[in-house]
Chain A
């Protein structure tokens, strides 16, 4: 039969029963078992975790500031640090401030026990139990190249203020595709620099993030975005006006060559 549906494997990992024919397939299929075993590990560790992380006492942040001498720095540059952005608390449930995170006991799995046990046992037999998890990260196996260069671009200066071209490298890394932008020739200016991917028609843009002047930045190419569709690398100078769109002031631009 076909491989198990991915959603079925997720439900099996959660301890829900699955159809007998899928169960039978799962028992003998290394690919599906590996997948199920990884998901089972996520569920197992997740259930051991606290449902929510407790809040950090407020004095910790002030302690950090005072230990690092960030309060009232002479040049005023630390002023922004004294106002810590509000924590991103979940909107719907109020966090419990003082209580340490309880250790959540593993509940007895009422359903699908056989499936979970079968995943664990069969995975152990077929692919060696505890090595399942370690084997997963084979992208960083010794000797394997961590990153592979897939495309490059020379970023031509579009302004007299930029004396030298920059460079952009697109790399396949174990964590997905990244683009490394070397824009050390960019001068210090008011506002900030933003890196973009643009399509050849210059009608569609993907914002990759801010790049400090005179630095080399690495950005994630968002999953689903192809550099074939967005081959133009552009660096713009953005005013601090809160407008997320492109300022139309490009300082460097180049086309990626695969």
Chain B
């Protein structure tokens, strides 16, 4: 049977010969991948994992503080997502947004089971409902990781410049000095990068 091949990752960069596609940083557009994922192409699962497993895992790791739990949650998220691939609706939100929704549920389940264990252990002892603060806290962690993820995707020199501004606490002048770059270039990288981080934050928050 002739089966249509799943959309293989393609090098978008070469499309620039048409001069019409701006700052495309992914090989395969996320929207294409979302459609292929929904349609159940197994390559799409591998590609989604390649793109977003670090985001899912980092969120779980920071939320639980435990490497083993984080690995279990990451596995559960992708297994759940794949089993429910037909329920993903690309028009309702991005695939990473959807994966992060599942991640937050799995983290909540994890805490719920931990608090059940704690209640069992302490028997009659009154135990305050554990992790009441959890959802808001997980939201915050998820947003942090989404930003870290997007920062990772910026590409140099923008990524390097933003890291220097965020984590090395350098001014744009100091960055321009260190990288021997015109001040205006550094400033425009900062501006455009913050805009892009903001856009991703809004999109993924909306999806959560």
User: Which positions in A face B, CB cutoff 8 Å?
Assistant: 6-7, 10-11, 13-14, 16, 38-39, 41-43, 45-57, 59-61, 63-64, 67-68, 70, 77-78, 80-81, 84-88, 90-92, 100-101, 103-104, 107, 109-111, 133, 136-137, 140, 147, 174-175, 178, 180, 188-193, 204-213, 215, 217-220, 222-225, 230, 240, 242, 244-245
Query: Which residue from chain B places its CB closest to the CB of A225 in the assembled complex?
Result: B20
- Name 14 interchain pairs, CB-CB below 8 A, sorted by A: A11-B187, A14-B166, A52-B148, A53-B54, A54-B61, A81-B42, A84-B46, A100-B61, A136-B202, A140-B206, A206-B18, A210-B7, A212-B6, A242-B10
Which residues of B come within 8 Å of A, CB atoms?
1-12, 14-15, 17-22, 24, 28-29, 31-32, 35-36, 39, 41-43, 45-47, 49-51, 53-55, 57-58, 61-62, 65, 67, 70-71, 74-75, 78-79, 82-83, 90-91, 140, 143-145, 147-149, 151-152, 156, 159-160, 162-163, 165-167, 169, 171-172, 187-188, 190-191, 194, 197-198, 201-203, 205-206
Query: Which residue on B lies nearest to A175, using beta carbons?
Result: B203
Q: Which of chain B's residues have a CB closer than 8 A to the CB of A53?
A: 54-55, 57-58, 145, 148-149, 152
- A217 near B11 with CB under 8 A, answer no
Interface residue from A104, A189, A207 paired with B167 (Cβ < 8 Å): A104
Nearest 8 CB-CB pairings of A with B: A210-B7, A209-B32, A49-B144, A49-B148, A53-B54, A53-B58, A213-B4, A56-B57
Cβ contacts under 8 Å, B9 to chain A: 85
Query: Does the CB pair B57–A60 fall under 8 Å?
Result: yes
* B205:A210 contact, CB within 8 angstroms: no
Q: Contacts A85-B9, A174-B206, A210-B32: A60 and B53 contacting too (C-beta < 8 A)? A: yes
CB-based contact B31/A191 at 8 Å: no
